A = this chain, B = another copy of it.
């Protein structure tokens, strides 16, 4: 194994100079830097991560906590994970994957052993059992999502409340007066996962504000459930002309179901969704949607963490403004 002393000898400098050339923490003459880099290349030197961590008390590893709970849409979660890894690499950090099997102890373990410098926590619930741990930890953390009481924590997410509102306002602008929200599976609400509730709040608030008739319908992530909701809506709310879908798994099945029941989209029924653009754009009928920008959120979370690691202050809450993209699934209400 090539070590820093080998590089130093080969470059005719001391080990500390090599270290400073690498870290840039002290000025090094251009010429010396060249020689050091040359030696590193020649010898194929790679600093030992453990030694580095020991000496600098920085592991350059972030923990990513991904509880795969029932009802979540796995591909979306994976998107976040990938964007976190990519962003972390851009900052010369790696990512340790933690699931929830270990419980909250896992957080403490990786933090206390100095395995990781900081933590990113996904799928945050309103009353999340991990919050006390995070607050007690001596390492910075960022939540992707918002708990009920975010004080003292750093959170980032799409502004789901605003997303719900934006969808309604889009429908209002198109003349719709009766709208419904088809939401996440019931267990997601039961668990009090913030984003599901927030969409519902935004949706309802905006509808009320504009004097619309509105209703909210949790929905399982199966085509059958989608069909059932569609039938129920036609039966109970025949004047319905606008639907907001906040449930990745049933976006297409739901539209299929409506069409199967004789409604045409968008002429009879406008549909807008809150989901990744990727998904909305690829649908058979491209769906007007507010994007869930996983890449931005993931990168943002890493950015916040880096600032905190650097000792800088960061805002407690970072809400990404919703961006609505019009596609083929929404249109003016036909004046029947």
Contacts and interface: CB of A to CB of B under 8 A. Distances in A.
Given A48-B113, A61-B96, 18 more contacts: A46-B109, A46-B113, A47-B113, A48-B114, A49-B59, A49-B113, A50-B59, A68-B78, A81-B97, A85-B98, A85-B99, A89-B101, A94-B115, A96-B97, A97-B97, A222-B284, A223-B256, A223-B284
Contacts of A81: 97
Contact of A53 (B50, B78, B85, B252): B50
- Which 6 pairs across A and B sit closest by C-beta, in order of nearness? A50-B53, A46-B112, A50-B54, A74-B75, A49-B115, A97-B97
Contacts of A64: 97
16 contacts: A48-B113, A49-B59, A50-B51, A50-B52, A50-B59, A53-B54, A54-B54, A64-B97, A68-B82, A74-B74, A82-B99, A85-B97, A86-B99, A95-B96, A95-B97, A96-B97
Interface of A: 44, 46-54, 57, 59, 61, 64, 68, 74-75, 77-78, 81-82, 85-86, 89, 94-99, 101-102, 109-110, 112-115, 222-224, 252, 256, 284
